[in-house]
A = this chain, B = another copy of it.
Amino acid sequence: MEGEKEFLKNYNIEKYDRPSVTTDVAMLTVRARQTDNYRTDERHSLSILLVRRGRHPYKGMWALPGGFLQRGESVEDCALRETVEETNVTPAALMPIGIFSDPGRDPRGWIISSAYVSVLGAEDIRQVGGDDAEDAKWFDISFDEKENEECELTLTNSDVVLHAQLHEKGSQFGRTDYDIKQSDLAFDHAKIIASAISAVRDQAKDANIVLDFLPEKFTLNEMQKVQEAITNVAVLSPNFRRKISGLVVETDEYRSGAGHRPAKLYRKKI
């Protein structure tokens, strides 16, 4: 009878068929756009960071940052490492979206991907671009679910507009799954992005993830606008304030100069 030590000595992992494993990260932030009227609030829009592929396959197309899992690191470490390498941005936390493993999802062969969302505050996004990150760009997101489970994803940039049509396949355990009907993005990344957005929208209901999108100090109106950009649902400001009052603390500072009453700055409660 073979003992465990002996078994492990003779075990040859190379004998077995195994997939390559990649990670993909949907990095989201909320950006403000200038308005004509100096008095009026900026428009806020949920945005995603994409990189243009410099290599085959899908060379020249836009894709999520990510890459192959290396020996000695956890999947989450890999997602973090690849994100920093490709975009020069270091995400604070990664939220797992799911594992994408449909046969045929990658033309190179048997490759499965573990996908994450990360959320960036206003301070982090300035770093974008750098050594390896020349082709990393922010895209404004428009993602609407129509009546008959058909969804339209549009990613817009000053130069490019990317479209994808998806079909809502089902929603279980707070994660919605989609089928791609048409996509301008590399691989099955339109599907991953749609899942990522729906996961973040789900989280934003209890307002906690909203704070991750904000800088260290922020006005309550900014916070509300960020939530509205994520969830696509407008709320009344007194009710919003009441709801999130337990999550934030006042500072002594004010934001003024906008043609109306200055707003007190708040900070995330620890």
CB of A7 within 8 A of chain B?
Answer: yes
Q: Mark A1-39, 1 if CB is under 8 A from B, else 0.
A: 011100110010100111111000000000000000000
Cβ contact within 8 Å between A4 and B59: yes
A12 to chain B, nearest CB (A): 9
Given A2-B56, A18-B18, decide whether A99 and B112 contact each other with a Cβ distance below 8 A. Answer: no
A84 to chain B, nearest CB (A): 18
B-binding segment of A102-110, A155-163, A225-233: A102-110
CB of A256 within 8 A of chain B?
Answer: no
Question: Within the assembled complex, what's the spacing in Å between the Cα atoms of A102 and B73?
Answer: 7
Cβ contact within 8 Å between B101 and A75: yes
- Closest chain B residue, CB of each to CB of A209: B173
> Which of A19, A21, A114, A173 has the most chain B CB within a 10 Å cutoff?
A173
Question: Within the assembled complex, what's the spacing in Å between the Cα atoms of A9 and B4?
Answer: 42
Question: Within the assembled complex, what's the spacing in Å between the Cα atoms of A71 and B209?
Answer: 37
Cβ contact within 8 Å between A96 and B59: no
Given A20-B13, A109-B13, decide whether A56 and B4 contact each other with a Cβ distance below 8 A. Answer: yes
- Closest chain B residue, CB of each to CB of A57: B4
CB of A70 within 8 A of chain B?
Answer: yes
Cβ contact within 8 Å between A99 and B114: yes
Interface size bracket, A side: 35 or more
Measured between beta carbons, the chain B residues less than 8 angstroms from A127 are: none
CB of A172 within 8 A of chain B?
Answer: yes
Q: Mark A205-246, 1 if CB is under 8 A from B, else 0.
A: 000010000000000000000000000000000000000000
Cβ contact within 8 Å between B173 and A96: yes
CB of A263 within 8 A of chain B?
Answer: no
Question: Within the assembled complex, what's the spacing in Å between the Cα atoms of A173 and B97?
Answer: 10
A91 to chain B, nearest CB (A): 13
CB of A98 within 8 A of chain B?
Answer: yes
Given A96-B173, A107-B8, decide whether A17 and B70 contact each other with a Cβ distance below 8 A. Answer: yes
- Tell me the A residues contacting B by CB distance below 8 Å: 2-4, 7-8, 11, 13, 16-21, 56-59, 68-76, 93, 95-96, 98-99, 101-103, 107-112, 114, 172-175, 203, 209
Q: List 11 A-B contacts (CB under 8 A).
A: A4-B59, A7-B57, A8-B108, A13-B108, A18-B68, A19-B71, A69-B101, A74-B101, A96-B98, A99-B114, A173-B209
